Amino acid sequence: MYVKLINPATHGKAAYSNSGSSAQTLNYLKQEAGRDGEEASFFGADRDGLSAAELRQEIDSNVKGLRATDAKFYSLVISPSESELLHIDNDEDKLKNYTRQAMEQYAANFQLKDGRQLSSQDLVWGATIHRERSYRGTDPEVSTGKAKVGEQRPGLQTHIHVVVSARDAEQKITLNPGGRRNRFDLMKWQAAAGQQFEKQFGYTAQAHEKLRPKQRDASRDAGRAAKIGERVAALNLRVTKEELLDPQRVQQIAQGREYDKTFYRSLATIERRAQQGQPIDNAYHLLRTGRERPEPQRAASTMLQAVQQAVRSNTGREEQTEHISEKKGRHSAELDIEM
């Protein structure tokens, strides 16, 4: 069983941009279904026969509390192996029932601050079944000349596309499956999805069908810490006195995030802003959460841009600016699940 969270940045923004309406994604899924010779039909937690228009309305209207740049929904792909499909005779009803169970596990995998456990009824989601796949330009079969782009792959290729809202059905909680592991453990859900198929259909998975988690190499942490220290030192040469980053605090954040991609992406954003002379009062929050500070707090810092620019221009006056949007000490932050 192969279960994947689609990353819009690497899987085609034209089809999977998720910061706005779900129309692009649903239209893409409709077009792909049309290549199978079937009209796209969606199903949810407790019903079949959803149209793309109905699902779009449900997803697009379930955005209360989200900012313009926030993800509004997520795209998931559930791909049984050919052996798994043969085991259930490639049966559509069985695949729907399995998907519903997988989405139950998806909901339960979110760790809420109050300890409550979600169910798929707390989600807004829809799924559709595609029975064919085509070769892409990045496939090894294409690069070796064994296949052409657009040609259908042989064998059973049935898979399920799921579109799920980034907010719960009550529009009180933001649910991000790609965020911090202590909020949603993506690999744990992926492994559970495979185990669910085995349990539900009495299937014994082969070794290549099981998720093999990649262990993080902690032996490289000392090298990572040294390079981060160098980057912080270089960054501090570009900013005002008030914007200097505490190397030890940055290192603690990096360790807490286990040197993940979100930390490095956020650090690169801060470096770029420093190089361009933009305010970076938001640095620790961004490094810790991978997200910008909520708009009401950022508005105050925006007002400081002109003053800070004047300081950088060295007008001759001894001026200092205080980041009034930065509270002293630790402050609570919205992480991957917004309560």
The domain locations on the chain are 2-209, 219-338
The Cα–Cα gap between 151 and 135 comes to: 6
The Cα–Cα gap between 248 and 97 comes to: 50
pLDDT of 141 strictly over 70: yes
Assigned token pair, 37: 């010779």
The count of other CB atoms within 10 Å of the CB of residue 194 is 21
pLDDT tens digits along 166-219: 999 999 999 999 888 889 999 999 999 999 999 999 999 887 777 655 566 788
Under CATH, which architecture does the 2-209 domain have?
A: 2-Layer Sandwich (3.30)
| Model confidence pTM above 0.75 | no
**Three-state DSSP class for 290?**
coil
Phi and psi for 171 in degrees, rounded to 5? 60, 45
**Three-state DSSP class for 28?**
helix
The Cα–Cα gap between 9 and 288 comes to: 21
pLDDT at 12: 64
* Angle at which helices 247-256 and 221-236 cross, to 10°: 140
Q: What is the mean pLDDT of residues 102-128?
A: 95
pLDDT tens digits along 224-257: 999 999 999 999 999 999 899 999 999 999 998 8
Phi and psi for 293 in degrees, rounded to 5? -65, 145
